[in-house]
Structure formats: structure tokens, C-alpha cells
Amino acid sequence: MKKKKILITGGCGFIGSSLAIFLKKKNFIVHSLDNLSRNGSQLNLKRIKKFNIRNFKIDVLSKENLFKLPKYDLLIDCSALVEANVKINNITKVLSTNFFGTNNLLLKCIKDNSRFFFLSTSRVYSIQEVYKFINNKKNIKKKITKKNKFIINEKFPTSTPLSFYGLSKKFSEELIKEYSHSYKVKYLINRFGVIAGPWQFGKVEQGFFSYWIWRHLRKKKLVYKGFGGLGYQIRDILHVEDACEIIYRQIQKFSKIHDQTFNVGGGIKNAIDLNDMTYISRKITKNKIDIGSYKKTDSSDIPMYISDNNKVKKLYNWKPKKSILEVGYDVYDWQKKNLKLLKKYMK
């Protein structure tokens, strides 16, 4: 059988590089497109090269360069500016890169009759509705114990406000559906919760899990920010290998299951608040650091997110394999092994 050709944009990013290697090992022909703008992407470039994966150093916003690339069976869109709390002077750049990047990739799909896979985010869900769901703002000042009451499925409202990053991803999702309607582009969208694992150059607003462990390892101070500064905000954590495995299963069934949107995350078992994150970081690194407190909540932040994986579970017989502690040890082992190198890339 002819090998399928896949282009991963953002293939030198955290998820894109892990996915490129994962799919290459599954016998696909894999290429990457990445303009190497992200801190640390140079290291991931070296990593994918070891697996003979070629990177095209192209900006996804350049339709002209994109159209010079060969034809692929599938385009996987992992190239985005990932920033939960976008500063005012960066709003235009985040919106335009994320939206017009997706637009160019969809045009390339039409030209070549390719399929499209979009990595979206849980941040497409309404901030106000999340607050209502957990039963008002005061609740977050108490530790939430019954987490299973608060899982979020694909039907949850996506009305604004969402944060500018969330909005940029929501715009892309809507655009994909327009192209699907008008030009029959076959697509899949996964709304991921927090993904963590080795080769993540965690910034606090992007990869808080890796960042928390890194700061413990380096014995540097951390701060519980927002929601009263108590560290009660909750997220679910998915190992990057579990993310790659579900994408692989979805690619295999693409002909049968497409034009669908899924929530994919660590789920209840892998949901953790920042206090527990500190606890496991201490356990793993054997270091104890000071944690400061800053009460004021950023307008783009949400108190809680836990993925309801039921839809994806049913259709693909998938569930996360790695526990939070396993994700933690994997991140720690990688950071410790690459300490010297990482000091250049992580604060």
C-alpha cells in the first residue's frame, strides 16, 4: 500500500515535533513546516532531523511559499501563537497568525484535495459560562473536591468572552466549517486541555505543568496567581504521547469519521489544582520552594477546566494511559538530563 504523506505545520513546536516523530515511526511520510519563531524550536528541529524528518522553514502566512510545497494527503495544523494571556501589543499578531495561518492551510487543502486536522483548545469555551458552571466566583476560593461534577463536553457554550487566544482558535474552527461546507474539505478538530511532556519549553501561560516542575528543579520562586491567590484553579493534564496516540487513531479512521469536533484531555483522573501541582513537584524533585500569592485574576483566565472525553473514548476506544505522576516524572527526567541546554531556553 502507498505510504500516506503528512505535513505537520509547527512541526518544530512541542506537540508538532512529538507528533512528527510518532507518525514517522508508524510508517507515514512526514514533513514539517515551521518558521522556527518559537523559543526552543531550534532544538526540536535537531530532534526531528535525527528521524530524517525534513522541515521547510516557511511562514504559514506566506501562501506563495506554502503553495510551492508538494501535495500531501493530510495537513495537521499545529502552528499557532500559543498564549493564554495575550498582551495588548500582541493581539493583532496572535489573531492574524492563528486565523490566516489556518486559512492558508485550508486553501492548500483545496488545491491538493487534502484532508485537514486542527489542534484546537479548551479555551474556545466561554469564560462566563465556566464561572456559572462552577457556581459563582466565590466557589473557587474553596477547594473543589467533587471534580466529576465539572467535566465539560463539546456542547458547552462557546460564546464570548473566550480570551484573545481562545477567540483566535474559535475563529479558525468556524473557518474550517465554512470550507467544509463550501469546498467539502474533510476535517477533524480536537479541543485539547493542557498537554505536557518532554521537549516542552514551558512558559507559565502555555506549559504551566512543565514550568512548575522546572522552577522546583531550579529552586526558583513561584506564585499562585488569581482567584484569591490560593492555588485552587484546576486543569486536566494529558501526556503528549497520549495526544499523539489519539491523533494516530483518528487518522486511521479518517475516511469513516470526519467533520467532527472532540474534547480530548487528561480527564477527571488527571485533573489537578495548583496546590496539588506543588505537592507532586516537591515529591518528584525533592525540592521545596517558596510559593507567593497574587490575588487579582487576569480577565482571560478560567478557574477550572476538565475535559469530558466520552465522545472520543466511544468512537476510538481511547483513554489517557499516563497518570499525572507519570507525566511529572517524564518531564522531570527530561529536564534534569538536559539541564545545561535548557537553562538557555527556560527562565
Ligand X SMILES: NC(=O)c1ccc[n+]([C@@H]2O[C@H](COP(=O)([O-])OP(=O)(O)OC[C@H]3O[C@@H](n4cnc5c(N)ncnc54)[C@H](O)[C@@H]3O)[C@@H](O)[C@H]2O)c1
Question: For helices 14-25 and 41-49, what crossing angle results, to 10°?
Answer: 10
Out of 5, 28, 56, 61, the residue judged to bind ligand X by CB under 6 A: 61
Q: How many of the chain's residues bind ligand X (CB under 6 A)? A: 28
Out of 16, 198, 226, 267, the residue judged to bind ligand X by CB under 6 A: 16
Out of 20, 99, 101, 216, the residue judged to bind ligand X by CB under 6 A: 101
Smallest distance from ligand X to CB 192, Å = 4
Q: What angle do CA 103, 265, 155 make, to 5 degrees?
A: 70
User: Judged by CB under 6 A, which stretch of 9-17, 48-56, 108-116, 297-305 contacts ligand X?
Assistant: 9-17
Smallest distance from ligand X to CB 346, Å = 13
User: Judged by CB under 6 A, which stretch of 37-45, 128-136, 176-184, 214-222 contacts ligand X?
Assistant: 37-45
Exposure class string for 17-50: b at 16+ Cβ within 10 A, else e: bbbbbbbbeeebbbbbbbbeebebbebbbebbee
DSSP character at residue 322: S
How many angstroms separate the Cα of 344 from the Cα of each of 43, 81, 270, 312, 331?
11, 21, 30, 38, 17
Site for ligand X in 262-291 (CB under 6 A): none
Out of 41, 103, 281, 309, the residue judged to bind ligand X by CB under 6 A: 41
Strands (E), the chain: 5-9, 29-33, 54-56, 74-77, 115-121, 187-192, 194-196, 222-225, 234-239, 260-264, 271-273, 291-294, 304-305
DSSP character at residue 75: E
Site for ligand X in 152-211 (CB under 6 A): 169, 192, 194-195
Our finding on whether 60 is near ligand X (CB under 6 A) is yes
Q: Return the number of the residue (16 or 328) whose C-beta is nearest ligand X.
A: 16
Smallest distance from ligand X to CB 286, Å = 26
Site for ligand X in 121-140 (CB under 6 A): 121
Smallest distance from ligand X to CB 127, Å = 16
Our finding on whether 80 is near ligand X (CB under 6 A) is yes
Out of 74, 119, 140, 247, the residue judged to bind ligand X by CB under 6 A: 119
Helix (H), strand (E), coil (C) string for 89-138:
HHHHHHHHHHHHHHHHHHHHHHHHCCEEEEEEEHHHCCHHHHHHHCCCHH
Applying CB under 6 A, the residues found at the interface with ligand X are 10, 12-16, 34-38, 41, 59-61, 78-82, 97, 101, 119, 121, 169, 192, 194-195
